[in-house]
Amino acid sequence: MDFVIKQKRINDDLLIVLGDNLFDFDLNSMITFFNKINGITVGIYDLKDWEQAKNFGVFEVKNNKLISFEEKPQNPKSTIISTGVYLFPKKDLKKIREYMETDKPKDGPGYLILDFFRSQNIHVFEFKGKWLDIGTKEIYEEAKKGWR
């Protein structure tokens, strides 16, 4: 993420959508919400499946704010997961850069969100509609046949 910010000289709000997402929801609603609150916003989705939730970053939320977050927990506290859709306000780009210069984990945006969560509010926007993480070959093949 920091590489792209530097290379493209991004100095504006930043929308990140992880490449293993397949969804039918409109991002404009999330952007409208983000513009109202002007704070980090994470797209969430309720899987309604406790076993599947173990494979994702699991959130507990209250009043559109993150209250707890666990990456791939064995015993999830909820079935609400991160969709891999993030909005960062321009004011937080420097903090992203600073995080990337630490020795903290960088192999997924969830760790960055967890770090930000320790010092500021993280807002959530719940998506409705179809969503699928096509990060494994099996799920990708299933999606090619016609996703849910």
Three-state SS string across the chain, please?
Answer: CHHHHHHCCCCCCEEEECCCEEECCCHHHHHHHHHHHCCCEEEEEECCCHHHHCCCEEEEEECCEEEEEEECCCCCCCCEEEEEEEEECHHHHHHHHHHHCCCCCCCCHHHHHHHHHCCCCCEEEECCCCEEECCCHHHHHHHHHHCC
Cα-based angle 16, 19, 24 (whole degrees, multiple of 5) = 85
pLDDT tens-digit readout, 64-123 = 999 998 888 999 999 999 998 999 999 988 888 888 888 887 777 777 888 888 888 999
pLDDT band at 146 (very low <50, low <70, confident <90, very high): confident
The CATH number assigned to the domain holding 75 equals 3.90.550.10
Number of domains the chain is built from: 1
Which residue segment(s) compose the domain that 36 sits in?
Answer: 2-146
Residue 18's nearest CA partner among 109, 146, 81, 116 is 109
pLDDT tens-digit readout, 2-20 = 667 666 687 788 898 888 8
First to last CA, the chain: 30
Q: pTM score, two decimals?
A: 0.87
